[in-house]
Chains A and B, each alone.
Chain A
Amino acid sequence: MRTTHAGRAARLAVGAAAAVALLAGCSASSGADEAAGRTDVNYALPANATPNWIVPLGIAGKLATHNSAIMRTLWEPLVAYDGSEGEVGRVATADLASDITFSDDGRSVTITLDEGRTWSDGEPVTSADVKFWFDLVRANTDVWASYSEGRMPDNVTDVATPDDKTVELTFDKVYNPEWLQASQLNLIVPLPAHAWAKTADDEEPDPALAETEKGAKAIFDYLVTQSEDLGTYETNPLWQTINGPYSLTGFSDAGQVELTRNEKYDGDDAASIDTVNLLPYTSTDAEVNAVRSGAVDYGYIPTTGLDAPEQYEQLGYAVEPWAGWSITYMPYNFNHPEMGPVYRQLYVRQALQQLVDQEQISDVIWKGAALPGYGPVPQNPESDFLSDEQKENPYPFDPEAAAALLADHGWTAGSDGVLECTAPGDGDDECGDGIEDGQQLAITILSQSGSAETDNMFAEIKSTFDQAGVAVSIESAPLNTVLSSIAPCTADQPDCDWELPFFGTAGSWYFGGYPSGERVFGTGAASNFGSYSDDEFDTLMLDSTESTDPSVMQAYSKYGAENLPVMWLPNPVYQVSVIKDGLEGTTQDPLASFHPQRWSWAG
């Protein structure tokens, strides 16, 4: 009997081992098996952030990186400047220019378009399409989100099109050519004038219409109106006239996007994958569940996943943090009716900055997937643009110093423990101009939702601020809601009631190769949400665009770090990516754009 039992046990053990081995074998080979023959990729969009724009003429609140990335797959820019090949620089295969030559005096540039490039309807891409873009943007600088006074298109005094394939741009003065390519020429996206130069659905397009300011405004308004109609993206004929490697074949209001390889694409950046599905998720948790079920090929995980990457590697994913050339911050609304005068006081901003423990937040909450940032120049990797002052943090975490700074300016704790101004006036030991007696130091943060790290970061900030007598109320909303709620405003406008918005779970602002900040901090700039205005800072930004001397950028870096146009916060990686084994060509662009045309499945 013993022998019989032992034999049966042995057979069971062998059978079990065989089954385990079989399962393990299936599991081990699943990545390669899945990759072979696949023609689609499922890409996860950032949590609680859905695409909501399509026309490559961004307006305020529509410049989210995923919107820009989708546009880039449909319409190629005149000059592509990104980090998709490992280093930030021009990617000639991904743009419409075959040659860019600056004149000897540095006042003009001649751009030759690629030969043989056509729109999807068969019409050639010409210099007139470049001029059409200039006409539209020049007449609509009040709404074009990339506008900054004195920059594109103000700095281009003449756009000449001597032939169909040549564009000559004349500048108002000599600029740093690197800055021009990285921050100005890369904004130009040739648009199909033959199809888009109209103001109503049933009109015949007339490119000459854009040559008048009135006509250009009407066309721009029409295109913006069409772009606001998310439900028609996949059927609107406007968005079918493309020249990029993909076409948009599916778009749901919930944010799911289907991109299909553009069979008529005739450039050098053709797609390998037939179908790319961009999938929306309401939270990181929901997305991680999809990753674990295998429904996502290229997604992300919370930073806590870095503690144990093997759990995803066992599922057939590679775990790769995606670092960005970016800064992260919360703009102060300097025009808020009550708190604007408070935020305009440098000492208040200094005190609040001293209450942010960036090192601990980066290490403990972000698990090292965010790095402290103290100023307007990206700090990782270090560059010649970075000043010593920014690098060394002029306002390290120091609650006692912050409390003393506020007390020295007439703020004392009220009965509820919240600081109140008890010395109104603009003297050295008074609260400051415009701050009334009894004004409480109570701030409201509007934070993007969907991220546990962001929630914990603000729980920590609230705790530290509350202990210092600064009352903090935190509201959260999806990214699109945050971005659409914080347009630059004046105190008399009813929707100027936001104070400190956070939209930086994946970094607040991504730069081109040249990190000048005129679009974010320049007076009147469309993305200068808080309406910060400082003549000296404006001058430094202007200088930084005209000189190749690194010390100019360093002066800008120093001034931004010391004068706090915004509240600087730890700069997170764009995401901690998980990439399915076998998916190739996924170089993670530090400019936070994704380039699905470069993706392919192994085998």
Chain B
Amino acid sequence: MTGLRRFATNRLAVVGAVALAILVLFAVLGPLVHPTEQVATDLGAANLPPGVDGHPLGTDALGYDNLGRLMVAGRVSLLVGVLAGALATVVGTLWGAVAGYVGGVVDAVMMRVVDAGIAIPAIFLLLVLSTIVRPTVGMMIVVLGLVSWLVPARLIRAEALSVRTRDYVVAARAMGATHSRTVLSHVIPNTVGTVVVNATFQVADAILLVAYISFLGMGVQPPTTDWGAMLNDGINYIYQGAWWLILPPGLAIVIVVCALNFVGDGLRDVVDVKGRTA
């Protein structure tokens, strides 16, 4: 059975992939279908309910069209999530592969660094940083990536410990391959299944982290926004019944995180040989 077919047998994974594709299209191409002003405020059109004056999802306290805002916020959430997840995966993979391949004292030191990093909650570091500087999108990508690489590093290190004893790795070393060539050409490619599966979870985690810090009011500066910041703004109106300010960004976060997890499960089915029938 091919990988694609195996993925397709996991219905939740397919649903997740479709949902993800729809959300990406919504965020990227949506503004072409429903163009709105998302930089200048319009207090004259503030707090409109859905369906009034051409605003399908109403407007927020500053007069921004809520549907349009959901789109531009989605761009930021997805962009930060994907790039931060990718950065965490790259750093974690290299760190774990080197630690597992080299072993000994180097492995011990590198993994104690990982243990120490994991002991400090990422949200704590992010909040401390947010009180010092107001983050930009670029800064959030770098910072989230740099606090999220610890778990993939552990996973890849465990894989590398196993791979380094395989015959093809030993043979490559015997034929004169350098350590860096061995790691890059033999160790990492043979852990790619774990890397890919974990990457989807990293992206989901990064999107949630963005939402956390934005919900706590420490996110990107207006007029830029993300789903977490929209949720934070909308929560002030929860008792006024302004569901359109809370439900859409909340649902978007839930859907994208669930979708990524479903896709991750599907990819695991593809790369996991255990329990596979002929």
Question: Which residues from chain A sit less than 8 Å from chain B, CB to CB?
Answer: 283, 285, 302, 304-305, 307-308, 311, 357, 360-361, 363-365, 449, 452, 455-456, 459-460, 462-464, 466-467, 473-477
Interface membership of chain B positions 127-154, coded 1 if the CB is closer than 8 angstroms to chain A and 0 otherwise: 0000100100000000000000000000
> Which secondary structure dominates where chain B touches chain A?
loop
A161 to chain B, nearest CB (A): 50
Interface centre among A283, A449, A456, A477 (most CB of B within 10 A): A456
Is B41 a contact of A463 with CB atoms below 8 Å? Answer: yes
Q: Do A456 and B62 form a contact, CB below 8 Å, given A364-B46, A449-B217, A475-B134?
A: yes
B275: CB under 8 A from chain A? no
Q: Tell me the bound Cα distance from A302 to B239 in angstroms.
A: 11
Is A467 a contact of B236 with CB atoms below 8 Å? Answer: no
Residues of A within 8 A of B107 (CB): none
B273: CB under 8 A from chain A? no
Is B236 a contact of A302 with CB atoms below 8 Å? Answer: yes
Is A304 a contact of B236 with CB atoms below 8 Å? Answer: yes
- Output the nearest chain B residue to A363 by Cβ-Cβ distance: B43
Q: Tell me the bound Cα distance from A360 to B40 in angstroms.
A: 14
Is B62 a contact of A459 with CB atoms below 8 Å? Answer: yes
Chain A to chain B contacts (Cβ below 8 Å), 27 pairs? A285-B236, A304-B239, A307-B240, A308-B240, A357-B43, A361-B43, A363-B43, A364-B43, A364-B44, A365-B46, A365-B61, A365-B62, A452-B61, A452-B236, A456-B61, A459-B222, A460-B41, A460-B43, A462-B223, A463-B62, A463-B222, A463-B223, A466-B39, A467-B40, A474-B134, A475-B134, A476-B134
* 6 closest A-B pairs by CB: A463-B41, A459-B222, A364-B43, A360-B43, A452-B236, A460-B41
Residues of B within 8 A of A462 (CB): 222-223
Total interface residues in chain B, CB < 8 Å: 21
Residues of B within 8 A of A455 (CB): 217, 222
Identify which of residues 219-278 in chain B touch chain A, using a CB-to-CB cut-off of 8 Å: 221-223, 233, 235-237, 239-240
A463 to chain B, nearest CB (A): 4
Question: Which residues from chain B sit less than 8 Å from chain A, CB to CB?
Answer: 39-41, 43-44, 46-47, 61-62, 131, 134, 217, 221-223, 233, 235-237, 239-240
Q: Tell me the bound Cα distance from A364 to B134 in angstroms.
A: 26
Is A464 a contact of B217 with CB atoms below 8 Å? Answer: no
Is B239 a contact of A285 with CB atoms below 8 Å? Answer: no
Extra 14 A-B pairs, beta carbons < 8 Å, given A365-B46, A449-B217, A462-B222: A285-B235, A308-B240, A311-B239, A364-B61, A455-B217, A456-B62, A459-B41, A459-B62, A459-B223, A463-B39, A463-B223, A464-B40, A467-B40, A474-B134
Q: Tell me the bound Cα distance from A582 to B4 in angstroms.
A: 69
Q: Tell me the bound Cα distance from A466 to B41 in angstroms.
A: 11
B66 to chain A, nearest CB (A): 15
Q: Tell me the bound Cα distance from A311 to B47 in angstroms.
A: 19
Is A304 a contact of B240 with CB atoms below 8 Å? Answer: yes
Residues of A within 8 A of B222 (CB): 455, 459, 462-463, 474
Q: Tell me the bound Cα distance from A271 to B197 in angstroms.
A: 66
Q: Tell me the bound Cα distance from A464 to B63 in angstroms.
A: 13
A477 to chain B, nearest CB (A): 8
Q: Tell me the bound Cα distance from A456 to B47 in angstroms.
A: 13
Residues of A within 8 A of B131 (CB): 477
Residues of B within 8 A of A449 (CB): 217
Is B217 a contact of A283 with CB atoms below 8 Å? Answer: yes
Is B43 a contact of A304 with CB atoms below 8 Å? Answer: no
Q: Tell me the bound Cα distance from A363 to B217 in angstroms.
A: 24
B256 to chain A, nearest CB (A): 25
